[in-house]
Amino acid sequence: MAQYPPNPAWKPALASSLSSQPVTFFQLATVSAPLTPHCRTLTLSGFFGEMPYAAATAIAADQQNPPGAESDILYVASDGRSQKFAELEVSQAVEAVFFFPGLWSQFRIRGSAFPISAGGRCGQLEQRGRSAVAAHMLLPEGWDWEKEVLKVWERQDKTMIKSKYPVSTAEKPVPDDFRLLVIVPEEVQQLLPGDNKALTWTATTAVNGTAVDWVCIEDVLLHKRSSKL
């Protein structure tokens, strides 16, 4: 599989917009059969692998991932019983939209989404997801999927989880129904304030098929109206 840079050219622009607010909600559209869009509001957890351990973590040092993982994979914490995961079984195509009110700008992230669980309980789809995510990551030696899911679970505010989606089941250390939804980007568009302009970054595989670069073009969003209208 081709290797993507964990810090592509669009990431600083998105990361700087994200840092302009304490918490980021965004909309994620999936496709349910037959070809019906389905959209909901989610809370961004960050770039996969980059979340630090809780300051007062109860996870033993030998159960922790080493620091230093980097990626351009966006992810959220969720519950495997929610409808979005049934839709990902049908199609992994998604579009996420972020609006930053303080900057009056938006980002659209198009790509594929996958479930990630403790113990890899989502079969082939999760296996494909893990491979796709790994191709977008810089991984320090000894980094491990199970440790990462445990880290994210420990950082969940359990009260918030109850208000966001059904109460998770009680299995330890990570409930069976706890899921990460990871978004593997293929195209990123920044809709700039005013001026009707957008920057669009597209992932392009090098001729030898092993490395990927992101190419940016500037778009004009609205097409000129025909003089007959």
> Residue 71 interacts with ligand FMN (CB under 6 A)?
no
> Residue 164 interacts with ligand FMN (CB under 6 A)?
yes
Within 13 A of 120's CA, how many CA atoms are on the CB side?
12
> Residue 124 interacts with ligand FMN (CB under 6 A)?
no
> Number of residues in contact with ligand FMN, rule: CB under 6 A?
15
Which residue stretch of 1-9, 71-79, 90-98, 141-149 sits at the interface with ligand FMN (rule: CB under 6 A)? 71-79
Residue in 48, 107, 165, 178 binding ligand FMN, rule: CB under 6 A? 165
Within 13 A of 49's CA, how many CA atoms are on the CB side?
24
**Minimum CB–partner distance for residue 17 and ligand FMN (Å):** 18
Distance CA 91, CA 11 (A): 26
> Residue 83 interacts with ligand FMN (CB under 6 A)?
yes
Task: Give the dihedral sign, CA 36/130/100/54.
Answer: positive
In sequence order, what DSSP letters do the residues of 157-198 get, joined into one string? -HHHHHHHSSPPP--SSS-TTEEEEEEEEEEEEEE-SSTTEE
Which residue stretch of 76-84, 92-100, 124-132, 219-227 sits at the interface with ligand FMN (rule: CB under 6 A)? 76-84
Q: Which spans of this chain sit near ligand FMN (rule: CB under 6 A)?
A: 25, 38, 40-43, 76-79, 82-84, 164-165
